[in-house]
């Protein structure tokens, strides 16, 4: 009882202090208008324009928030206040280009404090040369050369998943089922965990972690962040044990240095011969689990929704996948070369990434005062870019609201206008990995099934990534 009261008092105290800080900051910004700052509204004290923003996210259209302000204030850059932070939102291809080209010069990557705390020794907490060093080590597992080794295993895991959770069912809820698939695939490819019980124990901790990783970083019992931090501790402890066992197995030549991400991180050094520490390995594996999970789950779910709504697109994807299947011996697994043949299917995924990008945007922090589009961006300000300031712009994408997979034929979209994976030195590290992950699933699912949506106009709010409000229940039929 006393502990509960104490926790409440501490929470209240922290809330008051944070409120006071934000009110003072925003009042200063409101009362001393600076004509050189980008135009825009800071909304209400404390909450800024967060509610307007969340409203458009719930409607599945965060782009409305952005485009509305681009029209009202300035199409190049505007200011707003979201989640207690004053932000300059850089817009359009020029804004994207500016930010992606000025990493480590004018801006650095910035993530909310909760993410930094839970992934302390990972890539998201470092900048400059240290970020380059860690990215290089991680990339040698995620780049096409390395990925070639893992396509057959992806196919095997996907076939097993479909035969256990889809085959023989009349109805399936796509989002939660795909959620299990992406986590299982990561467990197998990153740390070679195959035991379903072990995977579901980790999945439980991981769910709690995901719910609090982007939240107010108040670490007292009862808060989401507290639970997430306990879950992160449990996952890290497990990863530490697995890592120690693997190191011993590698020393005794009883494990392969290329068997998965973990082995790769244990045996790979940087250019100076320095290896990652155990804490860095554990935190970076957790980062990759985090960064790869909801993103691909959301994309695969949206692909399933669009394919049900667009039967002619489904038929063209099916034809492409059947041709690939026919070119193989019975039982032969997919290879890297097969993924390269899935051109139309990838165009379909690319179009869905344009219409419903899973990542709404990312943050930077100004490391010096600088000028953009005639406005001053003060040192310390948070800067935001979003794939959505360009993705629905009809001058860049004619009939922008329409699905059209042919946009990616030939030269494709104009530079810096199509950026679902970001750009520049901090471009998504899993861009190449996400492609086979999504396409291998698509290959296996269309080969077996057609499907109908059980809720035809199901809403797809962003929370924080697009996820159908009822989980996208579908009725399955054999594809041929
Ligand atoms: C379709 C799926 C995915 C999309 C759309 C996506 C998109 C993004 C975006 C927009 C960023 C932020 C870039 C920035 O800060 O400017 C990012 C960062 C990142 N992504 Fe992805 N991602 C996807 C899948 C993955 C996967 C599968 C992995 C890992 C296997 C991954 C690992 C990462 C990492 C580690 C970062 C941080 C990179 C850094 O800070 O240097 N992502 N992703």
Tell me the domains of the chain and their CATH numbers.
Answer: 20-120+361-397 (3.30.43.20)
Residue minimizing CA distance to atom 15 of ligand 1: 362
Which phi and psi (to 5°) does residue 371 adopt? -115, 135
Residue 2: pLDDT over 70: no
The answer on whether 428 is annotated among ligand-binding residues is yes
| Ligand 1 atom at shortest distance from the alpha carbon of 385 | 16
Average pLDDT, the chain: 93
Which phi and psi (to 5°) does residue 108 adopt? -130, 155
- Say what angle helices 343-355 and 431-448 make with each other, to 10 degrees: 110
Q: What is the mean pLDDT of residues 283-303?
A: 96
Q: What is the mean pLDDT of residues 88-99?
A: 98
Residue 74: pLDDT over 80: yes
pLDDT at position 211: 87
Helix (H) or strand (E) holding 86: strand 85-90
Least confident of 35-44, 322-331, 410-419: 35-44
Q: What is the mean pLDDT of residues 24-28?
A: 61
pLDDT at position 45: 85
Least confident of 9-13, 34-38, 179-183: 9-13
| Ligand 1 atom at shortest distance from the alpha carbon of 138 | 35
Q: What is the mean pLDDT of residues 431-452?
A: 97
Mutate to test the pocket of ligand 1, among 126, 189, 428 (most ligand atoms within 8 A of CB): 428
Binning pLDDT at 50, 70 and 90, where does residue 35 land?
Answer: low
Scored b (16 or more CB within 10 A) or e, 440-469 reads bbbbbbbbbbbbebeeeeeebbbeebbbbe
Which phi and psi (to 5°) does residue 48 adopt? 55, -130
Q: What is the mean pLDDT of residues 27-34?
A: 60
| Ligand 1 atom at shortest distance from the alpha carbon of 353 | 5
Mutate to test the pocket of ligand 1, among 143, 146, 189, 295 (most ligand atoms within 8 A of CB): 295
Binning pLDDT at 50, 70 and 90, where does residue 217 land?
Answer: confident
Query: Token pair for residue 41?
Result: 């509204």
Q: Give the Cα separation of 341 and 350 in Å (integer).
A: 15
pLDDT at position 47: 87
DSSP annotation of 369: -
Are 209 and 235 a contacting pair, CB within 8 Å? yes
Calculate what percentage of the chain has a pLDDT beyond 90: 87
Give the distance (Å) from ligand 1 centre to CA of residue 398: 27
Q: What is the mean pLDDT of residues 166-181?
A: 97
Give the distance (Å) from ligand 1 centre to CA of residue 342: 22
Query: Token pair for residue 17?
Result: 């202090």
Are 386 and 359 a contacting pair, CB within 8 Å? no
Q: What is the mean pLDDT of residues 125-130?
A: 94
Binning pLDDT at 50, 70 and 90, where does residue 215 land?
Answer: confident
Q: What is the mean pLDDT of residues 322-346?
A: 97
Binning pLDDT at 50, 70 and 90, where does residue 22 land?
Answer: low
Q: Give the Cα separation of 155 and 142 in Å (integer).
A: 17
Query: Token pair for residue 267?
Result: 């045996």
Residue 1: pLDDT over 70: no
Are 96 and 105 a contacting pair, CB within 8 Å? no
Query: Token pair for residue 203?
Result: 């999945």
């Amino acid at each position: 009882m006393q502990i509960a009261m104490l926790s409440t008092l501490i929470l209240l105290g922290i809330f008051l202090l944070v409120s006071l800080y934000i009110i003072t900051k925003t009042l200063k910004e409101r009362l001393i208008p600076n004509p050189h700052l980008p135009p825009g509204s800071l909304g209400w004290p404390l909450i800024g324009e967060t509610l307007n923003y969340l409203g458009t996210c719930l409607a599945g259209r965060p782009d409305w928030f952005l485009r509305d302000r681009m029209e009202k204030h300035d199409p190049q850059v505007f200011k707003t206040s979201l989640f207690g932070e004053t932000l300059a939102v850089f817009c359009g291809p020029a804004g994207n280009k500016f930010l992606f080209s000025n990493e480590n010069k004018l801006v650095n990557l910035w993530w909310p404090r909760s993410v930094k705390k839970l992934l302390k020794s990972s890539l998201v907490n470092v900048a400059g040369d240290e970020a380059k060093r860690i990215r290089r080590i991680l990339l040698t597992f995620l780049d096409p050369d390395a990925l070639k080794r893992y396509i057959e295993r992806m196919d095997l895991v996907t076939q097993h998943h479909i035969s256990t959770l889809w085959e023989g069912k009349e109805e399936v809820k796509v989002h939660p089922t795909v959620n299990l698939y992406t986590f299982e695939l990561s467990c197998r490819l990153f740390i070679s965990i195959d035991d379903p019980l072990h995977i579901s124990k980790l999945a439980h901790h991981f769910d709690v972690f995901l719910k609090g990783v982007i939240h107010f970083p108040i670490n007292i019992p009862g808060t989401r962040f507290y639970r997430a931090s306990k879950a992160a501790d449990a996952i890290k402890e497990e990863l530490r044990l697995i890592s120690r066992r693997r190191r011993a197995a590698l020393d005794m030549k009883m494990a392969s240095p290329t068997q998965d991400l973990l082995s790769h991180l244990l045996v790979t050094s940087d250019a100076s011969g320095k290896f990652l520490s155990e804490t860095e390995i554990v935190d970076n594996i957790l980062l990759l689990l985090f960064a790869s999970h909801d993103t691909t789950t959301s994309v695969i779910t949206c692909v399933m929704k669009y394919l049900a709504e667009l039967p002619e697109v489904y038929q063209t994807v099916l034809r492409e996948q059947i041709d690939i299947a026919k070119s193989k011996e019975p039982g032969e697994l997919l290879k890297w070369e097969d993924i390269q043949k899935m051109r139309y299917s990838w165009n379909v995924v690319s179009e869905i990434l344009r219409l419903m990008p899973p990542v709404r945007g990312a943050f930077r922090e100004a490391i010096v005062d600088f000028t953009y589009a005639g406005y001053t961006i003060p040192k310390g300000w948070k800067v935001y870019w979003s794939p959505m300031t360009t993705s629905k712009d009809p001058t860049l994408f004619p009939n922008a609201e329409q699905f059209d997979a042919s946009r990616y034929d030939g030269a494709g979209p104009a530079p810096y206008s199509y950026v679902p994976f970001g750009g520049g030195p901090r471009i998504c590290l899993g861009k190449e990995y996400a492609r086979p992950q999504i396409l291998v699933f698509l290959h296996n699912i269309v080969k077996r099934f057609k499907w109908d949506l059980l809720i035809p106009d199901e809403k797809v709010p962003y929370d924080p990534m697009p996820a159908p409000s009822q989980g996208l229940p579908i009725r399955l039929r054999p594809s041929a």
